[in-house]
Amino acid sequence: MKSNHSPRGPRPSSMFRRLMILSLFSCILVGTLALEPALPVVGGVKRPPSLKTIVQKLENKVNRIEAMVEIMEQSARRYRAWTKCISSLRVSEYGDQDHRFGFHYDEKDGTGLDFRPALAVDTSTRWSDYTFLTFAHRDECQTDPTRPGTPGSPGTADPAFAPGTEIPELEPVAVPVGESTAGTSSGKGSLRSKLRRLERRQKDLWTRARRLDRMSEQFDEWESCLSSVPVSEYGDPEGRYGYRVDDGQGGSGYMPALAFDVSEWDDPDYMLLAFAGRDRPFVGRECEGLGDGEEVD
C-alpha cells in the first residue's frame, strides 16, 4: 500500500530554546550593568556608551522578546482550545486489495461485480487499523474558511503572517553617547529602579519561555505520531455505479465509499491524518507510522 507518511521523532524546539538563551543573556547583562564603564578618554578615543544608553538598549530588547513571547502564547492558547474540539474515530479497512473478497463493486461497464476493500467504522474490541481525528460542531470549534494569501495580503493560510501577529520593530531611543547621570543622585536612583524592573521582567520571561518549551515538546510528540493516509472516493455520488448496497426493501443500489488509494499513477483525493495501529503519543514508546514516503504537514 502506498503511503505518504514520513515517521518523525520529537524535534528540538529551536525557537523556544533560542528565546531562553537570549533571555539568559539578558539576565547576565542586567547583572553586569551595575558596573558603569569608567574608561577615560585617551588620545581622542570615545568613551564607551553610558549606563543610561546600555539600559535603554536592553529595555528595547526585552520589549521585543516580550512581544515574541506573547505571539507564541497566543498560539499555545489556540492549540489548547483546539485539542478540546478533537475526538477519535476508530476506522479499519475491510476487504482485500487483490479483489479476493470484500464489498461488491460494479463499474456498470459490462465487467460485472468485483470485490473491493473500503474503509468503515470499526466497532470491534481489537486495535483498529487507524484512529482518525474528528472535530466537534460546536460554535467555539468552528473557524472561518481558509483564504489563500498573496505577497500583498497574507490571508489566513499562515497565521504567523496574519494581521495583528507581526513582531513590532522597536527603534532604540536616541541617547547621546557618553551621557552620564553621575552628577545627580536622582538619575542613579531612576536607573537602579529601571534595572530592578528589567530583572523582574527577565525572570518572568524565563518562566514563560520554559512553559512554552514544555508545550512545544508535547505538541512535537503528538504530531510526530500522526500518519498521512492516502484516501480516495470510489463510486458515483449519483448512484449510477459503485459499491452495491441493499435498500432494506429487497432491492439494491449503488453508493460511493472511501478506500485507501494504492494507485501509483494518480494522487489521492485526500490525505487524512490518523494514528496508525497502536501508535499513540505520551505512552513511552516510539511511534512506527506507515513507512517511508513523502512528508506531508
Q: Confirm whether 291 is domain-assigned.
A: no
- Write out the three cell numbers for 250: 429487497
- Write out the three cell numbers for 202: 527577565
pLDDT digits (tens, 9 = 90+) for 110-152: 888 999 999 999 999 999 999 999 989 888 887 777 677 666 6
| Domain identity same for 31 and 59 | yes
Task: With beta carbons less than 8 A apart as the criterion, state whether 20 and 209 touch.
Answer: yes
Nearest-CA neighbor of 21 among 247, 213, 169?
213
Q: Confirm whether 63 is domain-assigned.
A: yes
| Domain identity same for 10 and 41 | yes
Buried b / exposed e across 51-83, counting CB within 10 Å, b at 16+? bbbbbbebbebbeebeebbebbeebbeeeeeee
Residue 193 clears pLDDT 90, i.e. is over it = no
Residue 226: left if φ>0, alpha if ψ -120 to 50, beta else—which one? Answer: beta
Residues of the chain with pLDDT > 90, as a percent, come to: 32
Could you list the residue range(s) of the whole structural domain that residue 15 is in? 1-85+136-225
| Domain identity same for 52 and 142 | yes
| Domain identity same for 264 and 173 | no
pLDDT of residue 284: 86
- In this prediction, residue 79 has a pLDDT band, given cuts at 50, 70 and 90, of confident
| Domain identity same for 162 and 59 | yes
Q: How many domains does the chain have?
A: 2
| Domain identity same for 181 and 263 | no
Q: Confirm whether 288 is domain-assigned.
A: no
- In this prediction, residue 103 has a pLDDT band, given cuts at 50, 70 and 90, of very high
Q: Confirm whether 294 is domain-assigned.
A: no
What are the backbone angles phi and psi of residue 214, rounded to the nearest 5°? -65, -45
Q: Give the other-Cβ count within 10 Å of 28's Cβ.
A: 10
pLDDT of residue 257: 95
pLDDT digits (tens, 9 = 90+) for 243-256: 999 877 777 899 99
Mean pLDDT of the chain: 76
Q: Confirm whether 239 is domain-assigned.
A: yes
Q: Confirm whether 64 is domain-assigned.
A: yes
| Domain identity same for 169 and 72 | yes
| Domain identity same for 175 and 117 | no
Q: Confirm whether 293 is domain-assigned.
A: no
Last residue of a domain, one of 209, 225, 241: 225
| Domain identity same for 156 and 130 | no
Last residue of a domain, one of 185, 208, 225: 225
| Domain identity same for 30 and 109 | no
- In this prediction, residue 289 has a pLDDT band, given cuts at 50, 70 and 90, of confident
Average pLDDT over residues 60-84: 89
pLDDT of residue 180: 42
- Write out the three cell numbers for 72: 507564541
| Domain identity same for 124 and 258 | yes
Q: Confirm whether 104 is domain-assigned.
A: yes
Whole-angstrom Cα distance, residue 175 to residue 99? 79
Helix, strand, coil fractions of the chain, as percent rounded to 5 = 35, 20, 50
Q: Give the other-Cβ count within 10 Å of 274's Cβ.
A: 24
More confident residue, 124 or 289: 124
| Domain identity same for 153 and 80 | yes
pLDDT of residue 264: 84
